[in-house]
Structure 1
Amino acid sequence: MSNEIQYKIWTVCMIQDGDYILLIDRQHDDFKGYIPPGGKVDFPESIVEGAIREVKEETGLDVKNLMYKGLYEYVNPISKARYMMFNYLTKDFSGELLQNPPEGRLVWVKVDEALNLPMQESIKRRFPLFFEEGTFEIQVVWDHEKNREASFSIKHT
Structure 2
Amino acid sequence: MCDVINYKIWTVCMIQDGDKVLLLDRQYDNFKGYIPPGGKVDFPESIVGGAIREVKEETGLEVENLVYKGLYEYVNPVTKDRYMIFNYLTKNFKGELLDNPPEGKLVWFTIDECLHLPMQQSIRRRFPLFFEDGTFEIQVTWDDENNVEGEVTIKRT
The alignment's TM-score, normalised by the length of structure 2, stands at 0.98
In structure 1, what residue type is equivalent to 2:140?
V
RMSD between aligned residues: 0.8
The CA deviation at 1:132 is 0.2
Q: How many residues align?
A: 156
d(CA) in 2 for partners of 1:75, 1:6: 10
In structure 1, what residue type is equivalent to 2:146?
K
The CA deviation at 1:113 is 1.3
In structure 2, what residue type is equivalent to 1:86?
F
d(CA) in 2 for partners of 1:111, 1:88: 16
The CA deviation at 1:19 is 0.5
Deviations along 1:56-98, whole A, 9 cap, x unmatched? Answer: 0000000000000000000001111110000000000000000
Runs of at least 5 residues in structure 1 that lack an aligned partner in the other structure? none
In structure 1, what residue type is equivalent to 2:75?
V
d(CA) in 2 for partners of 1:114, 1:6: 33
Cross-structure match for 1:50 = 50
In structure 2, what residue type is equivalent to 1:15?
I
Residue identity over aligned pairs, in percent, reads 76
Cross-structure match for 1:120 = 120
In structure 2, what residue type is equivalent to 1:145?
E
Cross-structure match for 1:61 = 61
The alignment's TM-score, normalised by the length of structure 1, stands at 0.98
Within-5 A mapping of 1:3-22: 3-22=3-22
| Pairing 1:85–2:85 present | yes
| SS of the residue 1:100 aligns to | coil
- After the TM superposition, list the runs of 4 or more consecutive aligned residues in structure 1 that deviate by more than 6 angstroms: none
The CA deviation at 1:108 is 0.1
The CA deviation at 1:112 is 1.2
